Structure 1
Amino acid sequence: MASLARPAANELHLWDVNASKFAVLLHNSDIAQPSVTNFGNGQLVNGGPDLDSSSAARILKGSLTTLGLLEPSPHTHKDGLPAVPRHPLPQFLLSSPRHSQAVHTVLEALGASSQLSDTFTFQDSADTFKFVPCAATDCTQLVNDRRELAPPSDARAAREVLVLPPGSHPPRDATPRFNFEQYFAQLGDHSSASDWGMGEVLVYGEAVSSTQTMLDKNPKLLTSLPTPIVSLASHQLAGRGRGANTWLSPEGCLQFSLLLRLPLSRLPAQRLVFVQYLFGLAVVRACKDERALGGNKGANVRLKWPNDIYLDLESGKKKIGGILVNTSFTGGQVEIIIGCGVNVSTPAPMASLSLLCPDAQLSSETILALILNKFESMWEMFVESRGSWAPFEEAYLDAWMHSDQSVTVATVSPPQQVRILGITADHGLLRTLPEKGAGDYIDLQPDGNSFDLMEGLIKAKK
């Protein structure tokens, strides 16, 4: 690319190498409003003093594409969806129709005016959040503008959170990978008139760095948000698994984090280990629901200790999901972040729930609503009993894959062959018994140990 003439200070001339085509981006103070048009050979595009960065980016991109200096980008996915985002997109702060004022409650808890009329900035340790009031009719264009922009060079760039008027939800083309009307219909109403239930208030982004990191790396946000609240994404760009593992984010994967808070006087800290088991059981129960797979096919969804979700098929066992629980203690209470990823309809060769029911149209909206409904009722019982595992033990052992399984424990010296008996009721440890000779139980903590199904081996997690 070469400029054949020295442009004026307020002009950008783009030419191809043989000067057969040109486009000009002209910033002229005499032009009251910017004009964004399609590009053609020899076409002039004018930009006035109010030309915003997103319009300028579209102009420049169109110009370079017309000149053959930039390859056209694939704008649509093969299923008619937009191309998978490679950088974070704006998020939406949303609530169910029954609790339309809940968004105001969240804003007030963060220090903003409940009637948000201007951008509100919330700064935290890892991220800065910009809450932006947005009409439902405008959010599609705003999100699509962000699709076209390159990711900010500053890793600390603020996260945009769009706030719509009470009672309104983004149109389908603003959230093409998640249907909120369908989701809220499936979620139903299990809350009181004043308090919202699990899943009724959420922050959704089509593409975010990590639903879990947004909460547990921003302590001010974590302790300020009213609960329960869900952080949901269709794609994670830096999803997290257990330990140092990453969580891949293919199309058709449901991924979310649920924030809960309660005083330790209601749930002793030593009972928190059971939360990962409880949530895994909720996932299994959701899959068995008739609105998902039903009892027969859903029975093939099984749990691997301590926090993985598998399909148990004739062809073998295939992982389709996992659970990650983080806790934070402040002022006599505990914040619990439950992260979960489940492959609902991911394409082959990845395993997903759709393998069990290839003709059904399984949706992330339905599976999420079912998981949260099942877990909410279980959670209430769990907290009321101050963390008793007894009401859930039988169902959990029926859902996991390990009863009477023979494995090698490599975390003792010398390694021993043992039989798996269950989960201890006091501290949630994996209870095993040596197979040969007399010996005491060998109880293993979920944190720090890894279960290799293929090798039948329990070893220290690296």
Structure 2
Amino acid sequence: MPDPLAADLRDPAVLAALEALGAGRIDVLDEVGSTNEQLTAAVLRQARGAAPARPWTDLSLLLTGHQSAGRGRLDRVWTTEPGTALTFSVLLRPAGAGGRPLPTQHFPWLTLLMAAAVVEALAGVAGAGARIKWPNDVLVDGRKVAGLLAGLVLDPHRAPAVVLGTGINVSQEELPVATATSVRRATGRDVARAAVLEAVLGAFVPRYRQFCADPAAATGPGGPLRRLVEDRMETLGRSVRAELPGGAEPVTGTAVGLGAHGGLLLRDDAGTEHEVTAGDVVHLRPAAPGKA
């Protein structure tokens, strides 16, 4: 018998709504260690010739009632109490006109577009004033309510794909750290995981298609998707410290915008602009007046 923790996600009406939004294959698991790892393994099996009855196509989804061993950036553990979080991974095969695969240099925008979709979804279903913390967190009142993690899937027979995982704290009353929150704690509202999922995908899919049609125009200077993401960012206008990978010297400055491929632009005290493409960002003080 299906685990009751996943019953809400198996509801035929929910699955039909996701299909109507453009989802490909949809699998719902009772419990899994990591949706990203599970989906990546399934896609690689398909790449090796183990053709499934239902192929893993663009916008395919893997959902779980409970993720027991999720990981975030830098291999940090991401765990939740059973039944309290919305956890899913989506397979993305970005392609433009004529099905031509997009260059991987554009892929960092996918995480930011999903983060923006989470912000919109939480506002719509729960009235939450969520914001994006670059590169892959969503905050409410400065506390983390959601995290995202993207991984590249290399297939020797076709263009690289992306598995993008999202975890949203929905109904937790107790969180393991003071820097985390849930939709319930932040808003006092009880919302259904399925409603959040439908809202997230409903916001993400049209922007994803717009991005695929012309990523340079959509995310270049003044581009509509760049503006959309920047308007939802908590990081912009703040004094931040970027802690870089590989032991490089941290960079401190004011976050002033996003680069062509989704990197964070920092301006230091000397007026020099730096683009951070990977690393942890620490918010040092609130945004300047006029910034969110």
Matching of residue 247 in structure 1 with residue 73 in structure 2: no
Question: What SS is found at the alignment partner of 2:56?
Answer: coil
* Deviation at residue 337 of structure 1 after TM alignment: 0.6
Q: Pick from 243, 252, 260: which aligns with 2:92?
A: 260
Shift of 1:328: 2.1
Mean Cα deviation higher: 411-420 or 275-284 = 411-420
- 2:114 aligned residue: 279
- The equivalent residue for 2:207 is 378
| Alignment partners' CA distance in 2, 1:401 and 1:441 | 19
Alignment partner for residue 194 of structure 2, among 336, 360, 365?
365
**Counterpart among 253, 265, 278 of residue 431 in structure 1:** 265
User: What's the counterpart of residue 233 of structure 1?
Assistant: 64
Distance 1:365-1:357 versus aligned 2 partners, 3 A rule: same
Task: Provide Cα deviations, 1:322-354, integer angstroms capped at 9, x if missing partner.
Answer: 111111233341221110000111123462112
For the Cα contact (< 8 Å) 1:345–1:352, is it kept in 2?
A: yes
Structure having greater relative contact order (Cα 8 Å, sep ≥ 6): 2
- CA displacement, residues 300-338 of structure 1 (integer Å, 9 cap, x when unaligned): 1111010011112xxxx1111111111123334122111
* 1:305 aligned onto 2:134: yes
Larger radius of gyration: 1
Q: Find 1:340's aligned residue among 162, 166, 182.
A: 166
1:351 equivalenced with 2:181 (yes/no): yes
Query: Matches of 1:261 and 1:415 in 2, distance apart?
Result: 34
| Candidates 17, 22, 30, aligned match of 1:206 | 30
Does structure 2 retain, via aligned residues, the 8 Å contact 1:418–1:433?
yes
More helix per residue: 2
Question: What is the 5 A alignment of 1:449-460?
Answer: 449-453=279-283
Contact persistence 2:27–2:63 (CA under 8 A):
yes
CA contact (8 A) 1:303 1:310 kept: yes
- Equivalence for 1:422: 257
Letter in 2 for 1:450: D
For the 8 Å contact 1:186–1:366, the answer to whether it is kept is: no
Change in CA separation of 1:239 and 1:414 when aligned onto 2, cut-off 3 Å: closer
Q: Which amino acid aligns with 2:160?
A: V
SS in 1 for 2:201: helix
Report the residue type matching 1:357 in the other structure: T
Post-superposition shift, 1:417?
A: 3.8
Count of residue pairs the alignment pairs up: 264
The verdict on how the C-alpha distance between 1:248 and 1:395 changes in structure 2, with shifts beyond 3 A counting, is same
Contact 1:423 1:431 in 2 (8 A): yes
Q: Which runs of 5+ in 2 are unaligned?
A: 287-292
Cα distance, 1:356 vs. partner?
3.8
* Partner of residue 45, structure 2: 221
Displacement of 1:452:
2.6
Distance 2:115 2:174 in 1: 24
1:50-449 equivalences under 5 Å are 140=1, 143=2, 175-176=6-7, 178-184=9-15, 187=18, 189-190=20-21, 197-198=22-23, 201-218=25-42, 220-223=44-47, 224=51, 225-227=55-57, 228-250=59-81, 251-263=83-95, 265-289=100-124, 292-293=125-126, 297-298=127-128, 300-312=129-141, 317-330=142-155, 331-349=157-175, 351-358=181-188, 360-387=189-216, 388-389=218-219, 390-409=223-242, 411=244, 417-425=252-260, 427-435=261-269, 437=270, 439-446=271-278, 449=279
Say if 1:363 and 1:413 are closer, same or farther in 2 by CA, change over 3 A.
closer
Q: For 2:74 and 2:46, how far apart are their aligned partners in 1?
A: 21
Distance 1:398 1:252 in 2: 29
Shift of 1:231: 0.7
Contact kept in structure 2, 1:263 and 1:333, CA below 8 Å: no
- Structure 2 distance, partners of 1:244, 1:321, is 16
- SS of 2:154's equivalent in the other structure is strand
SS for the counterpart of 1:226 is: coil
Give distance in 2, aligned partners of 1:258 and 1:400.
23
Q: Distance in 2 between matches of 1:247 and 1:418?
A: 29
**1:452 partner SS:** strand
CA distance in 2, matches of 1:175, 1:255: 11
Do 2:84 and 2:170's aligned partners in 1 also have CA atoms closer than 8 Å?
yes
Query: What is the CA RMSD across the aligned residues, in angstroms?
Result: 2.7
Shift of 1:414: 6.7
What TM-score, normalized by structure 2, do the two folds share? 0.80
**CA 174–220 in structure 1, closer or farther in 2 if over 3 Å, else same:** same
Give the 3 Å change call, closer, same or farther, for CA 430–409 of structure 1 in structure 2.
same
Take 1:235 and 1:284, find their aligned partners in 2: how far apart are those partners?
22
Which residue identity is paired with 1:234? G
Partners of 2:252 and 2:266 within 8 A in 1: no
C-alpha separation between the residues in 1 aligned to 2:225 and 2:194?
26
Kept in 2: contact 1:252–1:343 (CA 8 A)? yes
- Write the letter of the residue equivalent to 1:183: V
AA aligned to 1:385 is D
